[in-house]
C-alpha cells in the first residue's frame, strides 16, 4: 500500500524527460492522426481539381499563394509495412513537390494531361494504398494499446475500416475518372 501512496497524483508531461524514441513515437502518432484526418480534404481537392478548369484554377491559385495562419511476427510485419509505406509516401511527396516546382501546371489542360498519364495515376494509386495501409496499421496499434474493452475496440476498428474503405473507393473513383477523356 505504501508504494501506491508514493505514485504521483499529477503527472506533468513537460517535466518528464522522454528518450528520443518516446518523443518520436508521440510525434509519429500525432502526424499519423493528422494525416488520417486530412485525407478526405486532400481527396476532395484532388477530385475538384480534375473536375473542371475553373476549380483547377482556384485550387492552384490557393496553393501558389498560401495564407499564413501560423504477436511478434505480426508486429514485425506491421512495423515493416509502416516503414516501407512511409518511405514510398515520403519519396512520392518529394517527387510531386520537385516536379511542380520545376514544371508547374500552368493551366487545367496541362494538369489534366499530366494526371491522365498511366504511370502518374499508378503512382497516385500506390500512394493512396500506402496511406490507407499506414493509417490502418497505425490506428489499429493505437486501438490495441489504449482501448481495453473488446467491444469498444471492435467498434472503433469497424468504423475505421469502413471509413478507410470509403476513402479508398473514393480515391479509386477519382483515379479511374481521370483516365476518361
Residue-range domain boundaries for the chain: 37-53+74-181
Question: Using an 8 Å Cβ cutoff, are 145 and 96 in contact?
Answer: no
CB contact at 8 A, 50 and 178 = yes
At 15, give phi and psi (nearest 5°): -95, -10
The pLDDT of residue 169:
94
Q: What share of the chain is helix, strand, coil (3-state, %, to 5)?
A: 80, 0, 20
- Distance, CA of 45 to CA of 55 (rounded, Å): 9
Q: Which of 178, 133, 141 is nearest to 157 (CA)?
A: 141
Supply the DSSP symbol for 67.
P
Q: What angle do CA 99, 131, 65 make, to 5 degrees?
A: 40
Fold of 37-53+74-181: 3 helical TM bundles of succinate and fumarate reductases (1.20.1300)
Count of other CB atoms within 10 angstroms of residue 117: 12
Question: pTM surpassing 0.85?
Answer: no
Per-residue pLDDT tens for 109-151?
888 888 888 898 999 999 999 999 999 988 988 888 888 888 9
Going by C-alpha positions, the residue among 72, 74, 55, 71 that lies closest to residue 63 is 55
Q: Tens of pLDDT along 41-94?
A: 888 888 888 887 887 777 777 766 655 444 445 567 777 788 888 889 889 989
What residues contact residue 96 under an 8 Å CB cut-off, 6+ apart? none
**Where is average pLDDT lowest: 1-10, 31-40, 82-91, 172-181?**
1-10
Buried b (16+ CB within 10 A) or exposed e, 33-50: eeebeebeeebeebbebb
Where does the chain show beta strands of DSSP type E? none
Residue written as grid cell 518523443: 23
Amino acid at each position: 500500500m505504501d508504494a501506491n501512496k508514493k505514485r504521483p497524483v499529477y503527472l506533468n508531461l513537460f517535466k518528464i524527460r522522454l528518450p528520443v524514441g518516446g518523443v518520436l513515437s508521440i510525434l509519429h502518432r500525432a502526424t499519423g492522426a493528422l494525416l488520417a484526418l486530412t485525407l478526405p480534404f486532400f481527396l476532395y481537392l484532388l477530385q475538384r481539381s480534375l473536375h473542371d478548369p475553373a476549380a483547377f484554377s482556384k485550387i492552384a491559385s490557393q496553393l501558389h499563394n498560401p495564407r499564413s495562419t501560423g504477436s511478434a511476427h505480426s508486429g514485425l510485419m506491421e512495423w515493416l509495412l509502416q516503414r516501407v509505406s512511409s518511405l514510398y509516401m515520403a519519396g512520392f511527396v518529394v517527387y510531386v513537390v520537385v516536379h511542380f516546382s520545376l514544371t508547374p501546371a500552368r493551366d487545367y489542360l496541362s494538369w489534366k494531361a499530366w494526371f491522365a498519364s498511366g504511370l502518374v495515376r499508378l503512382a497516385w494509386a500506390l500512394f493512396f494504398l500506402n496511406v490507407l495501409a499506414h493509417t490502418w496499421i497505425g490506428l489499429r496499434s493505437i486501438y490495441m494499446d489504449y482501448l481495453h474493452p473488446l467491444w469498444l475496440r471492435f467498434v472503433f476498428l469497424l468504423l475505421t475500416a469502413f471509413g478507410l474503405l470509403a476513402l479508398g473507393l473514393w480515391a479509386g473513383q477519382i483515379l479511374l475518372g481521370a483516365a476518361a477523356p
